[in-house]
Amino acid sequence: MTLFPSFAANLEQQEWRYAKIILAVSGGIDSMCMALLFAQAKQYFTKSPYGLAGFDFVIAHCNFQLRGEDSEQDAALVKDWAALKGIPYYQNTFDTPEIIKEEGNVQIVARRLRYEWFEALRKELNFDYIATAHHQQDSVETLLMNFFKGTGIEGLHGILPEKGRIIRPLLSFNKTDIAAYAAQEKLVWREDVSNQKTDYLRNKVRLELLPGIEKVFPNAVTSIYQNSLRFGEIEELYKQSIQGYRKKLVEQRGKDLYIPLRKLVQCRPLSTIVYELLKPFGLGPAQLHDALQLIDSDSGRYINFEQYRLLKDRNFFIITPLETKNSDNILVEEPTVHFENEQFSFRSKPVKDMPKPAQIAAAEAYIDVKHLKFPLLLRPWRIGDYLYPIGMGMKKKKVKKLLIDLKIPQHEKDAVWVLESNKKIVWVCGIRSDERFKVKPETKDILHLHFQKNNT
């Protein structure tokens, strides 16, 4: 059979017909068929009324030196074929065995090396895309692996025809059609013997699971692939819905994001919405249960992701960077800390004695540790904050009123931070501490605090 009419129509439909494309060609049957189809497309487009109209391609081959002489013969086949067809050829030979000694997993290493080089070459040549030869069966294998390992809706669309700079022009064709096309064109390719080993999960799915399924459902690959296309359309609707919840619930405040819990708990299905809202910040399926429990936990509890922290603060979830220089909600998890950001430096440390009041600078405070509950929270002040200013006999005062009474200019008010313990203001930093945390004669443990603005 000939695949070319459908292939050319696909290039037109996806608008790849006007692009400059790097073909990732290993020398196997799939990538060699893709290369031949592109060569035929170039001839076809040359004769069209519009000419090539910017369409062009080159071949790129990775030699990972993992299969000895076989790797060299793969490279030679692709290079010679490209020369025969007059197609520009690029090759990178990697010292993969040495790299594996440091990084481990051969598949992960090879994938990283391959795509890093392809992308560097694409930028060097100023090309538009990198084409790989994934087909229907590859997509079905990916879907099945995702399904059995556990996945959300996005794991059910299989391999996408286009993702970023990566395109898959053969994705709509099945393996049988590709093999028939290769035989018809008398195409020469090389077989990677490692593809017949079941050492890797994908090979097990390909060689053991799928054949077993097809014994019961002979057209299973095509049916699952068609289902994956429908799952992809369902995913678009799903994403639109999640985006609606994101706009409704997630509010940017300074460097942090706030989610009002009273609104969140009214959403259904709650676990799915929580997962999707937090997934971009590093939440994995294993942490979802902890995130749901955090809703009803005490203020100050938190979960750490790789780069972000999910903090429960009163009636809000706060998503804040772990790096303090990028955060507007900084946890002080132990008595001795020192950190700086663009606005200020903050230090705290236990001390034995407290100096006389006249010797205490405005940037300092001394606190009775007995009344603190760690972690403390360092954050910008906000409307509604209040404290019992030291020296006022336990009279409650709004932080806003305190700043007004002290005639602090508006631009300085915006830069005021507070230190909080268990929902109580310990210190309006550099301005006034709270009577409830005052050091008294019977105080045994004292914490010295220092807050210095960088512009002063």
Structural domains of the chain, ranges and CATH numbers in brackets: 4-234 (3.40.50.620), 250-325 (3.30.465), 330-453 (3.50.40.10)
Per-residue pLDDT reduced to its tens digit, 418-447 = 999 998 999 999 999 999 999 999 999 999
Query: How large a percentage of the chain has pLDDT more than 70?
Result: 99
Q: How far apart are CA 191 and CA 171, in angstroms?
A: 20
Helices (H) and strands (E) in the chain, counts: 15, 22
Residues near 265 by Cβ (< 8 Å), separated by ≥ 6?
295
Q: What pLDDT is stored for residue 1 in this prediction?
A: 56
Q: What pLDDT is stored for residue 332 in this prediction?
A: 92
Task: Go through 294-320 and write b for each residue having 16 or more CB atoms within 10 A of its CB, e for each that does not.
Answer: beeeeebebbebeebbbbbbeebbbbb
Q: How far apart are CA 278 and CA 274, in angstroms?
A: 6
Q: DSSP assignment, residue 219?
A: T
Q: What pLDDT is stored for residue 286 in this prediction?
A: 86
> Within 13 A of 94's CA, how many CA atoms are on the CB side?
22
Residues near 426 by Cβ (< 8 Å), separated by ≥ 6?
365, 367, 372, 376, 418, 419, 420, 433, 434, 437
Q: What pLDDT is stored for residue 140 in this prediction?
A: 96
The two three-digit tokens of residue 414, written as one number: 């915006």
Mean model confidence pLDDT for the chain: 92
Spatial contact of 422 and 370, defined as CB atoms under 8 Å apart: no
Q: What pLDDT is stored for residue 239 in this prediction?
A: 94
Q: Taking residues 301-305, what's their average pLDDT?
A: 91
pLDDT band at 56 (very low <50, low <70, confident <90, very high): very high
Q: Taking residues 98-107, what's their average pLDDT?
A: 79
The two three-digit tokens of residue 135, written as one number: 């087909």
Q: What pLDDT is stored for residue 138 in this prediction?
A: 95
Q: Taking residues 262-267, what's their average pLDDT?
A: 96
CA 113, 118, 121 angle in degrees (round to 5)? 125
Spatial contact of 324 and 339, defined as CB atoms under 8 Å apart: yes
pLDDT band at 322 (very low <50, low <70, confident <90, very high): confident
Q: What pLDDT is stored for residue 282 in this prediction?
A: 93
Residues near 390 by Cβ (< 8 Å), separated by ≥ 6?
432, 433, 434, 435, 438
CA-to-CA separations, 175 to 29, 59, 70, 351, 422, in angstroms, rounded? 10, 22, 23, 73, 62
Q: What pLDDT is stored for residue 455 in this prediction?
A: 66
186 alpha carbon, distance to own chain's centre: 44
Per-residue pLDDT reduced to its tens digit, 198-251 = 878 899 999 999 999 999 999 999 999 999 999 999 999 999 999 999 999 999
> To which residue do tokens 């006389």 refer?
356
Q: Taking residues 448-454, what's their average pLDDT?
A: 92
> To which residue do tokens 């100096």 refer?
355
Query: How large a percentage of the chain has pLDDT more than 90?
Result: 75
Spatial contact of 387 and 432, defined as CB atoms under 8 Å apart: yes
Per-residue pLDDT reduced to its tens digit, 136-186 = 999 999 999 999 988 878 889 999 999 999 999 999 999 999 999 999 999
pLDDT band at 73 (very low <50, low <70, confident <90, very high): very high
pTM for the full predicted model: 0.70
pLDDT band at 192 (very low <50, low <70, confident <90, very high): confident
CA-to-CA separations, 30 to 181, 191, 221, 253, 274, in angstroms, rounded? 10, 10, 17, 51, 41
Q: What pLDDT is stored for residue 168 in this prediction?
A: 98
Spatial contact of 314 and 377, defined as CB atoms under 8 Å apart: no
Q: Which of 115-129, 169-183, 368-382, 410-424 is predicted with the least confidence, judged by mean pLDDT? A: 410-424
Of 454, 446, 389, the C-alpha closest to 415 is 454
The two three-digit tokens of residue 424, written as one number: 């109580």
Q: What pLDDT is stored for residue 149 in this prediction?
A: 86
**Is the pLDDT score of 28 beyond 80?**
yes
> To which residue do tokens 């005490």 refer?
298
> To which residue do tokens 């002080």 refer?
332
Q: List Cβ<8 Å contacts ≥24 apart for 284-288.
A: 285/150
The DSSP annotation for 96-147 comes to HHHHHHHH--HHHHHHHHHHHHHHHHHHHHT-SEEE----HHHHHHHHHHHH
Spatial contact of 345 and 430, defined as CB atoms under 8 Å apart: no
